Structure 1
Amino acid sequence: MSFSSKPQPEANSKVLIFGAGNFGSCLASHLGDSQHDVYMWAREEYIVKYFNLNHRNPTYLTDHEFPSTITAVGPALPDAGLINEVDVLLFAIPTQFLRSTLEILRPSLNINNLPLLIFVNKGIEVGTHALTLEIIADTCGPDIAKLATFISGPSFAKEIVERLPTSVSVASFTEAEADKAANLFHQPHFRCYTGTDPIGIELSGALKNVYAIASGMSDGLGYKNNTRAMIITRGLSEMTVIGSAYGASPLTFLGLAGVGDLFLTCSSSNSRNYTVGYRLGQGEKLDVIMSTLGSVAEGVPTTKGVKKILEELDIRAPIANAVHDVLFNGKDAKTAVRELMELPPSRELELAPTAGGPGHQLLVKLGLAGAEDAPEAVARF
């Protein structure tokens, strides 16, 4: 039996956003400006009260006045009544908190009256090194996971609320769900491109943060444009190798969620992950940086997950390994750069031969492939 989310209204959808951080707030503003009715859940009571009184977020995008079509809710998680009333559930909470949140919400989800599910978090779960797709399957079941839609791409929050031209990738195993999400967000200043490789979209969004840390370290050490261009290009190569070995399409990494987001986050001090790297390059300690950053840098915990994936797939990704050594093994950033440059010459472009391992296992869990199928079959999704 095939499932789908409830039919979406042609206009004025009701949207519940989990997360009132930088990106959750900016998407709430975008959808509110588009005349949708938006509920934005925050875990901090003072944010809920302040937002509803002033139409401003006291912590993120503080200079922006939000549309009156947005209502903040919380700190308790919304009840089943609101969840089943809305047309869309959008998750903009850090990946490390997603499993516990979905476990609480699962009893309120009705597969026969399911809202459109959209996820914009970017990361790999620490401990399990699971992608969001697998977290959804574990907590909500494969039927719901197959309907999940993912949005990723070069999209700084501040520029979205300023209505500057932005494009993103929207992907789901169920193409009709991706189309629904694209139609919800699509505006003259916000263009959506759909696809059917959510594994690749997820890996792109997670991995690019690791290389943004590397780029920030390079700039913090005083290196210039040549070095940054090298990190971006070799970072894209490593992302593609990791992704194709995992089971994603290599083409996904050439899109907005791949090279587009990688270029953005590696090139701007507005990126939290770039900022972490820059401060490391300047000589600051990681614990000091994280305690004073003021927001979550998903690349730090993601680097641990990437390290596990590299070991599991037995593939080389020297830059990702170097970032892990600096973050968690106490290696000096300048030493890490010197060791990378001293590596012997190697082939520039070569995909790993073990395509489809974890990705194939995930497809089996979702019922999209059989255990007996060849792992390479994952490439068609």
Structure 2
Amino acid sequence: MSQQTIAVLGPGSWGTALAQVLNDNGHQVRIWGNIPEQIDEINEQHTNKRYFKEIVLDEKIKGYKDLAETLDGVDAVLFVVPTKVTRLVAKQVAQALKHKVVVMHASKGLEPDSHKRLSEVLEEEIPAELRSEIVVVSGPSHAEETIVRDLTLISAASKDLETATYVQNLFSNRYFRLYTNNDVIGVETAGALKNIIAVGAGALHGLGYGDNAKAAIIARGLTEITRLGVAMGANPLTYSGLSGVGDLIVTGTSVHSRNWRAGDLLGKGEKLEDIEANMGMVIEGISTTKAAYELAQELGVYMPITQAIYSVIYQGASIQDAIQEIMSGEFRQENEWS
């Protein structure tokens, strides 16, 4: 692929890691952020030590503070901003864009209150004449491993497979490989909802439970993620792939996962407000739990793990009581879908 100019919106851990992947592939990369000191650090020291203390970025990766300047002449725009500000940033992009671009996002969550998937938010805020069909970049990936060029395989999902293939070629190299998928709903819901299960898996670890419990919450968590996704229109096969079970495993078992770490600390008795204050990064699983719980109620989908985590985070229930409620609940068949 010839050199492309890419705007990466959001200099967090994943945005920075993806910027390095694109740079390694010979593309011109611009990272935009709203913290001037962070952008200055990227340009002057070629580091982003808030997230990667030991990593030196290629000096060709440039930081930008002005959004219009960032978007001037780019071929593609990659959103990697927190879910709660995606709509705001999309509005700003729509105002600043002067030409049509490929629009991608690599964030994982549901918009608070509206419960909309992020591709829906981007479609609503960026006029069709200024963008391609949205491409969702999602799958089992820790920024801490991608930044050191560890092997990573994820998905590029879009209603338009030609655009997904463009993104596949844009990112893929010797250590980073993308597979195309046309199930946008499945890939997005898998990426968002697995964060809830990761919080639960971390809480079990914090309470001292072992591998049996870990396997149980991952397996049963995947079942209820699939239930809700299918109710929203997803292909159930997506949840057995990279963006489904793959992402759930990596997020629900690793100390690299901020959602797992938050759950672990909850299990050890720390208060949620203290965990959020000290984490230094957005814990998407917290807000997604509320959105998923409300969606499940609205659609009549059985999600006992999500409901238990919601009761702990938003209703003040103890984790032990929530676990016991699941363990003493109605007996069911394993493959029930309602």
Please indicate, yes or no, whether the TM-score normalized by the shorter chain is above 0.5. Answer: yes
Counterpart AA for 1:325:
S
Partner of 1:126: 112
Kept in 1, the 8 Å contact 2:110–2:117? The answer is yes
Confirm or deny that 1:17 pairs with 2:5: no
- Percent sequence identity is 35
CA-CA distance at 1:116 after TM superposition: 1.4
Confirm or deny that 1:50 pairs with 2:41: yes
Kept in 1, the 8 Å contact 2:141–2:152? The answer is yes
Secondary structure of the residue aligned to 1:117 is: strand
CA distance in 2, matches of 1:323, 1:176: 39
CA-CA distance at 1:142 after TM superposition: 5.6
CA distance in 2, matches of 1:255, 1:183: 20
Partner of 2:83: 95
CA-CA distance at 1:108 after TM superposition: 2.9
In the TM superposition, what are the counterparts of 1:278-289 in structure 2 within 5 Å? 278-289=264-275
CA distance in 1, matches of 2:295, 2:93: 29
Partner of 1:220: 206
Kept in 2, the 8 Å contact 1:47–1:57? The answer is yes
Confirm or deny that 1:166 pairs with 2:152: yes
Kept in 2, the 8 Å contact 1:137–1:144? The answer is no
Counterpart AA for 1:27:
L
CA distance in 2, matches of 1:144, 1:202: 22
CA-CA distance at 1:105 after TM superposition: 1.6
Counterpart AA for 2:36:
E
Secondary structure of the residue aligned to 1:69 is: coil
Residues 1:130 and 1:115: Cα distance change in structure 2 (over 3 Å): same
Kept in 1, the 8 Å contact 2:12–2:51? The answer is yes
Partner of 2:278: 292
CA-CA distance at 1:11 after TM superposition: 2.3
Instruction: Name stretches of at least 5 consecutive residues in structure 1 with no aligned partner.
Output: 1-9, 353-381
Residues 1:269 and 1:165: Cα distance change in structure 2 (over 3 Å): same
Number of positions where the alignment pairs a residue of Structure 1 with one of Structure 2:
338
CA distance in 2, matches of 1:19, 1:140: 18
Confirm or deny that 1:188 pairs with 2:174: yes
CA-CA distance at 1:304 after TM superposition: 1.0
- TM-score, normalised to structure 2, is 0.97
Counterpart AA for 2:240:
L
Bigger drift between 222-231 and 305-314 goes to 305-314
CA-CA distance at 1:145 after TM superposition: 7.3
Partner of 1:360: none
Instruction: Name stretches of at least 5 consecutive residues in structure 2 with no aligned partner.
Output: none
Residues 1:122 and 1:235: Cα distance change in structure 2 (over 3 Å): same
Partner of 1:109: 97
Kindly provide the CA deviation profile for residues 47-91 of structure 1, in whole angstroms up to 9, marking residues without a partner as x.
Answer: 1111111110131112111112200111x4x11x54240111001
Partner of 2:250: 264
CA distance in 2, matches of 1:126, 1:98: 11
Partner of 1:149: 135
CA-CA distance at 1:141 after TM superposition: 4.0
Confirm or deny that 1:33 pairs with 2:24: yes
Secondary structure of the residue aligned to 1:85 is: coil
Secondary structure of the residue aligned to 1:58 is: coil
Kept in 2, the 8 Å contact 1:96–1:126? The answer is yes
Kept in 1, the 8 Å contact 2:109–2:288? The answer is yes
**Which residue, out of 43, 60, 73, partners 1:85?**
73
- TM-score, normalised to structure 1, is 0.86
Partner of 1:367: none
Cα RMSD, aligned residues only = 1.4
Kept in 2, the 8 Å contact 1:15–1:39? The answer is yes
Kept in 1, the 8 Å contact 2:103–2:132? The answer is no
Secondary structure of the residue aligned to 1:261 is: helix
Kept in 2, the 8 Å contact 1:245–1:351? The answer is no
Secondary structure of the residue aligned to 2:8 is: strand
Kept in 2, the 8 Å contact 1:84–1:115? The answer is no
Counterpart AA for 1:191:
R
**Which residue, out of 268, 280, 298, partners 1:312?**
298
Kept in 2, the 8 Å contact 1:206–1:302? The answer is yes
Partner of 1:358: none
Kept in 2, the 8 Å contact 1:208–1:265? The answer is yes
Counterpart AA for 1:66:
L
Counterpart AA for 1:100:
L
CA distance in 2, matches of 1:71, 1:82: 10
CA distance in 1, matches of 2:81, 2:292: 20
Kept in 2, the 8 Å contact 1:241–1:350? The answer is no
Counterpart AA for 2:150:
L
Kept in 1, the 8 Å contact 2:197–2:305? The answer is yes
